[in-house]
Amino acid sequence: MKIIKRNKAEVDFDQSKITAAITKANNAANENERMTAVQIERIADSVTKQCEKASRAMSVEEIQDLVEKQIMAHGAYEVAKLYITYRYTRTLVRRANTTDDTILSLIDCNNEEVKQENSNKNPAVNSVQRDYMAGEVSKDLTCRLLLPQDIVEAHKNGIIHFHDSDYYAQRMHNCDLVNLEDMLQNGTVISGTMIEKPKSFSTACNISTQIIAQVASNQYGGQSISLTHLAPFVQVSREKITRYVKEEMKEAGVELTDEMLSKMVASRLHEEISRGVQTIQYQVITLLTTNGQAPFITIFMYLNEAKDPQLKADLALIIEEILKQRIQGVKNEAGVYVTPAFPKLIYVLEEDNIAPDRPYYYLTELAAKCTAKRMVPDYISEKVMLQLKVDKTGTGRCYTCMGCRSFLTPYVDEQGNPKYYGRFNQGVVTLNLVDVACTARQSQKADKVAAFWETLDERLVLCHRALRLRHERLKGTLSDAAPILWQHGALARLQKGETINKLLYNGYSTLSLGYAGLWECVYAVTGKKLTEDEGRRFGLEVMQRLNDACAEWKAEEHIDYSIYGTPLESTTYKFAKCLQRRFGIIEGVTDKNYITNSYHIHVTEEIDAFQKLKLESEFQRLSPGGAISYVEVPNMQNNIPAVISVIQFIYDNIMYAELNTKSDYCQVCGFDGEIVIEKVDGKLIWKCPNCGNTDQNKMNVARRTCGYIGTQFWNQGRTQEIAERVMHL
């Protein structure tokens, strides 16, 4: 059994330390107030048993809370008072320097919380450690000086989550929809160097990867680019190759027929496209940005975004190559092809590719094979999105999210033109809906449903204040802080010394009110599941109230607030632990070491893929700032027609969804299948079912956890959630 120390290092549980701490307080008490040695040992035994029941590593603070309660239960109030006083004194000492121990544990790779905080960051790498170290200092500064203490305490207690507080001090923002078209067509500046319009497709791809890296180093969330913005450079290369071939053949004295010329150009153009796509794929996953990880980049594949038939045909060539190279994968250290985390791919389902008689159906078949093998692409239904994303002109729009799920709201500029590329999200604050429900259950009011709505409204006021803090922190930011973003086209073309203020209002950018644990929230209040009519209706009412609050704030402030289905990663474990501390174990509500992402059906619920997607589509409609649904499937590589059936169902029923499968490899024995999860000494570990290897450094595991693929493993809460997932097909 393990415990988590204050510096976040994980160590073996030692009951003797509990005994020693109680004995020290006991010896300081008056003799007639002291407990016997037998009583002290009983307390230590009881605390140990409670820690074992928790089925996770308890923190030192949690264990000390248990000790206090047990001492009080034995009637040793004087000893309890001395024990509490000692804890308080030590807390004051620690507050004098809040970061040293944590930073040292980072350097020693002994910080269990940070080691599994981000499933795509390797904490043993210097650049990652440097980012985490800077983050600890920044978080300390933010919590002590920049945020009100009630916001800090609410975050600490898991009532809300103030996302990415390690970047708050720097006035950085969340997600971007990069205006790659402007940067490639009109030129940009990277690190003080003028980059002009590229003269070939492969050069455009190379410049794009540099843009991606620069953007990722100046914000902390996801970013998206569209392949449509690269497609015009296929024609640039086609014309260039045609000239070269004609010149070469003329010099060689060879007379070309039109057919011969066409074949030679097509062959060389394919090589050019292949090189360009490979540049994007390999550079993106091998680049390290200033936060120590590959850029969190999403590539958007939308045929109908092309403005003319030739551009659409050229875009199809790029999409085909992207999918083929992703099916192949990338080589790991042992030279074996495995599944990379990035770039994330999004494929739009539309009339021209959804049925066998349509001209681009072959791309959908290829996408299905890619999903079965590598878990991407994810799918956006143009049909459904045009119904849900309607701008003020009454026109439906189809566009990509920023990263894994963060969607901008429809926007039309002053000239009446729709605008999505060049926009961004200011930041996220997430509301723990489970805590709202549990707080209402504990209230003195007889009507627990009324208590829930009252508590929810109070928490929304708290979230609104926290979101305004994110907005106010960005106000006054000079374009000079991130020239690639604000001056050179990624998001804007502002002047030097100009503030970004005008981009923060009137819908140009968004602020996201995140939410988590709708499943547990509904069950706690109604005793019903989201899959039951009463539970579904109540869940929809909760979602509508969140939307109403955002609409009220937006109308008053001209700031675009939007509801966002938070992709909890490490926070799912943090929220679960906080709920257990505050409310104990409540069956069906707080009895797991994780809570459910956004509106999702619980991972243990038996439901088929089509029912799940249909039901969740109602909730996704009420999550306009971002959400994604998924279905869990077995190995489908030999059943592509079934994959296509799910894809076609997505097209007709839900805006944005994905299929989750497994893609693992054991470096010890070469096993290519599913690495399993087992419990050993109270801890969940990953194990090769073939050779028994449990060394995470000698296996490649890829799992979808939050709308994107993680490859660096997860904390115990998320690992339990992964282990308990049921299949939907």
Distance separating alpha carbons of residues 195 and 186, to the nearest angstrom: 9
Is the distance from CB of 470 to CB of 511 less than 8 angstroms? yes
Q: What is the pLDDT of residues 334-380, one digit of tens each?
A: 888 888 888 999 999 999 999 999 999 999 999 999 999 999 999 99
Q: Both tokens of residue 415?
A: 């000239």
Please determine, for residue 203, whether its predicted confidence score (pLDDT) is greater than 60. Answer: yes
Please determine, for residue 133, whether its predicted confidence score (pLDDT) is greater than 70. Answer: no
Distance separating alpha carbons of residues 698 and 247, to the nearest angstrom: 53
Contacts of 306 (CB under 8 A, 6+ apart): 228, 231, 312, 314, 315
Q: At 203, which amino acid appears?
A: T
Q: Both tokens of residue 64?
A: 């000390």
DSSP 8-state secondary structure symbol assigned to residue 478: B
Q: Which residues are catalytic?
A: 174-175, 402, 404, 406, 425, 564, 569, 707
Q: What is the mean pLDDT of residues 15-25?
A: 90
Please determine, for residue 332, whether its predicted confidence score (pLDDT) is greater than 70. Answer: yes
Q: What is the mean pLDDT of residues 552-580?
A: 94
In this prediction, residue 56 carries a pLDDT of 75
In this prediction, residue 121 carries a pLDDT of 56
Burial of 59 (0-12, 13-18, 19+ CB in 10 A): middle
Q: Both tokens of residue 704?
A: 């979808």
Average predicted confidence (pLDDT) for the chain: 90
Please determine, for residue 306, whether its predicted confidence score (pLDDT) is greater than 60. Answer: yes
Please determine, for residue 109, whether its predicted confidence score (pLDDT) is greater than 60. Answer: no
Q: Both tokens of residue 530?
A: 């989201």
In this prediction, residue 430 carries a pLDDT of 98
Percent of the chain's residues with pLDDT above 70: 92
In this prediction, residue 65 carries a pLDDT of 86
Is the distance from CB of 296 to CB of 223 less than 8 angstroms? yes
Is the distance from CB of 75 to CB of 83 less than 8 angstroms? no
In this prediction, residue 240 carries a pLDDT of 97
Residue 717 has φ and ψ, to the nearest 5°, of: -65, -50
**Which stretches does DSSP call E strand in 517-634?**
560-565, 629-632
In this prediction, residue 434 carries a pLDDT of 98
Q: What is the mean pLDDT of residues 151-170?
A: 94
In this prediction, residue 103 carries a pLDDT of 52
Task: Determine which helix (DSSP H) or strand (DSSP E) holds 516, and give its type and residue range.
Answer: strand 510-516
Q: What is the mean pLDDT of residues 712-719?
A: 81
Q: At 224, which amino acid appears?
A: S
62-76, 131-145, 384-398, 628-642: range with lowest mean pLDDT: 131-145
Q: Both tokens of residue 544?
A: 């509508």
Q: pTM for the full model?
A: 0.86
Please determine, for residue 409, whether its predicted confidence score (pLDDT) is greater than 80. Answer: yes
Q: What is the mean pLDDT of residues 550-579?
A: 94
Q: Both tokens of residue 699?
A: 């296996």
In this structure, are strands 510-516 and 560-565 parallel, antiparallel, or unpaired? parallel
Q: What is the pLDDT of residues 205-232, one digit of tens each?
A: 999 999 999 999 899 889 999 999 999 9
Distance separating alpha carbons of residues 244 and 224, to the nearest angstrom: 34
Is the distance from CB of 319 to CB of 346 less than 8 angstroms? no
In this prediction, residue 191 carries a pLDDT of 86
Residue 467 has φ and ψ, to the nearest 5°, of: -65, -40
Q: What is the mean pLDDT of residues 678-690?
A: 91
In this prediction, residue 390 carries a pLDDT of 97
In this prediction, residue 429 carries a pLDDT of 98
Contacts of 459 (CB under 8 A, 6+ apart): 159, 160, 431, 435, 436
With CA atoms as reference, report the closest residue to 44 among 24, 63, 25, 72. Answer: 63
> Treating both helix axes as pointing N-terminal to C-terminal, what angle do 716-723 and 571-583 enclose, rounded to 10 degrees?
100
With CA atoms as reference, report the closest residue to 234 among 195, 182, 277, 273. Answer: 273
DSSP 8-state secondary structure symbol assigned to residue 421: T
